[in-house]
Amino acid sequence: MENPKANNRIRRILQSEDPDLSEARQWFLAANNHPDDIDGMIRFFLRFEKFPYMKQAIKKWEQGDGLILKLEKLGEQLRHAKQTENSARLITLLSQLAELNAQLTQVENEFSHALTEGALWVKKVLTWSEILLLMITLIPAFFIAYRIIIQISTIEKALQTSDQRFRGLSQSSMMGIIGWRFDGTILDANDAFLDMIGYSQQDLKEGRINWRKTTPKEFWDADDNALDEINKDGVCKPFEKEFMHKEGHRVPVLIGAVSLDDNNESGICFFIDLTDKKLAEEQMRLSATVFNATNNGILVCDTKKKIVAVNSAFCNMSGFKEKQILGMKAEEFIADKLSSSQKTSMDQSLKKIGRWSIDNKLITNSGAHVDIQLSVNAVMSDTETITHYALIFIDISERIESEKKLIKAAHYDFLTGLANRILFTDRHKKALLRAKRNNQKVALLFFDLDNFKPINDQYGHNVGDELLIIIGSRLEKTIRESDTIARLGGDEFAILLEDVVELDAVTFVAQKVIDIVNQPVEIDGVTMQVGCSLGISVFPEDSDSTVQMISNADSAMYDAKNNGRNRYSIYKKSDSKNKH
């Protein structure tokens, strides 16, 4: 039986009506038979194949070859299942191995019995035969018997190898194995199974473990169904259940079982601990819940930056449906496209620390832009290679609006909305730098409101504030967008004029300001009127310093007051002496 395919072919040739002895010899050689034995083996087969005991032995020989072929195929399937860590398939194949083992043992016994009976029969026949005929027939019979013994020995070795593999599996930690009885008794168990449920070999010896009693009630029906399958087919399909651990918690397992007796009262069970698998599944469920429950939009992209998953928050944020988003590229939703330097920074950061973020704008389905903080996170494999990217979109519209309000509060007058002293000073400094660079002039107009204090005292601060708001609004409309008007405090105002070509243009604006301020204002049914005195300082004639230009314009303003009010005055060095 070393070569089941060759033996099978030999039998088919010799059992045909007109055997091709030359072809038969070739197949005998292929089966590793000695050349000197072949002719005798052929004659023995042809002479005795029709006799009952020989026919029975040949039949068992054929069955043995078939089972050996199945054994080889099953061995390949077992190696493949172990390499791919297919636990369910491994349990099924082990069950099949147990069945095949039993079948081979039975065929071996029946083959040996047929040969024994045949030998006795031949002995009786040959007693009445001639000595010469006996010698002629015994020689090939010896060689046939010799070859059969070798083949039987090969089967025994294969079975021993299978048994060694089974024992190795039972002693490993990857799978729990027990011998069981229908009543719940555990006849034997390996350490992997005992560790799985928290018991010891001593507990097993003392009979403290019963597979039925350690099974929670809700799995009793599954056990009964498996037992019904075993009663019918001798084996059950792998299924999931739970055992109660000795410490009280549950242990999820994958189980497969096979019967080892005709009454199906006992057998072998194989267990795989599913605790890690169940924890991973639970983690996946929690991740999915968080993925869809968070208020932040999330996109998952593959390494080609194509979107493979999207949560409901992003759909709500963008106005797109999931089926529209999948397959798109994340950058299609970004309003301010990343520069080459930003892309380089992102790639380097993702490789180094696995994350990168930037403030940007999200393009919605309606075309509107939403301020967002974009966080890109690299998803790594076990080999530390990037497999996906997780993009988190956080709506920062409120934050941006708050920042704008803070900026406005820091740079604009809370009452009139005009620039405050800080912003005015900053713009003045920048204007001077530009003027120096381009050889241009800058003018500064400084003024306050004449007769404002009496109105504020008579009608109250609310009326005074309303008056400042109205005048500020009127003045803002008189200047160019490139110029700046500011309320420096109280009733003091300043105007910054850039790109000045002639002084006449400055005095024109100054007179226009005086005329606007002089216009009557009606508040709560009361008509009131104020005027203004205005001082002018020009760069580079007067000074190249922001502070000094304001001081010079202030001096010129007092010159205007001293000369009758409601007029403007251009700074002269003598004005500083007249300031009071």
pLDDT tens string 212-228: 999 999 999 999 999 99
Beta strands in 466-530 (DSSP E): 484-489, 492-500, 521-523, 526-528
Mean pLDDT of 434-438: 94
pLDDT given for residue 137 in this prediction: 46
- Among the listed residues 65, 371, 448, 491, the single catalytic one is 491
Q: How far apart are CA 103 and CA 97, in angstroms?
A: 10
The predicted structure's pLDDT at residue 219: 94
Q: Please give the pLDDT value at position 517.
A: 96
User: Which element (helix H / strand E) includes 391?
Assistant: strand 386-395
Least confident of 106-120, 427-441, 477-491: 106-120
Tens-place pLDDT, residues 523-533: 999 999 999 99
Give the pLDDT mean for 237-259: 92
DSSP string, 119-143: HHHHHHHHHTS-HHHHHHHHHHHHH
* Domain range annotation of the chain: 4-170, 176-278, 297-397, 412-578
Q: What is the DSSP letter of 580?
A: -
Q: What is the predicted pLDDT for the residue at 288?
A: 67
Global model pTM greater than 0.75? no
**CA distances to 448, 492, 561 from 556, in Å:** 12, 14, 9
The CATH superfamily holding the domain 412-578 is Reverse transcriptase/Diguanylate cyclase domain (3.30.70.270)
Question: How do strand 531-539 and strand 568-570 relate by DSSP bridges?
Answer: parallel
Residue keyed to tokens 């070739």? 26
Top mean pLDDT of 71-80, 165-174, 335-344 is at 335-344
- 134 or 426: which carries more pLDDT confidence? 426
- For residues 392 and 314, give the distance between their C-alpha atoms in angstroms, rounded to a whole number: 9
* Residue 355 host element (H or E): strand 355-363
Higher-pLDDT residue of 237 and 29 is 237
Q: 392 and 298 in contact (C-beta within 8 Å)?
A: yes
Domain pair 176-278 / 297-397, same fold: yes
Q: Which long-range contacts (CB under 8 A, 24 or more apart) does 162-170 make?
A: 162/71, 162/97, 162/101, 163/101, 165/78, 166/94, 166/97, 169/94
Residue 103 has pLDDT above 80, yes or no: no
For the domain bounded by 176-278, which CATH number is listed?
A: 3.30.450.20
Condensed to tens digits (0 to 9), the pLDDT of residues 193-213 reads: 999 999 999 999 999 999 999
* Fold classification of 297-397 (topology level): Beta-Lactamase (3.30.450)
CB atoms closer than 10 angstroms to residue 520:
8
491 given a catalytic annotation: yes
Q: What are the tens digits of pLDDT across the range 311-342?
A: 999 999 999 999 999 999 999 999 999 999 99
Sign of CA dihedral 556, 557, 562, 563: positive
